[in-house]
Amino acid sequence: MDWRPNRLDFYYDNKLYKTISQAPQQPMGIIVGTYTDAGSGVHNDVWPKTWHLDYIRVWKDNKGYR
């Protein structure tokens, strides 16, 4: 994710996946986890849930955003 003052750009495998034209104006954190329906709308009662994360990349432009 690239978080800029006026938008959020989400990437998957280094490809832009989605842009939201607004961004929080306060400090935030990253929460990484799984959830029951995984966004599909189809309930899944299989437990335990597992998935693998290779890496999370966080960066800031050296010049800042202000």
DSSP string across the chain: -EEETTEEEEEETTEEEEEES---SS---------TTTTSSS----SS-------------TT---
Q: Which residues in the chain show pLDDT less than 70?
A: 34-41, 59-61, 64-66
pLDDT for the residue 8: 87
* Predicted TM-score (pTM) of this structure: 0.53
Per-residue model confidence (pLDDT) at position 35:
65
Q: What is the pLDDT of residue 45?
A: 76
Per-residue confidence (pLDDT) for residue 64, from 0 to 100: 67
In sequence order, the 6+-apart residues with CB closer than 8 A to the CB of 15 are: none
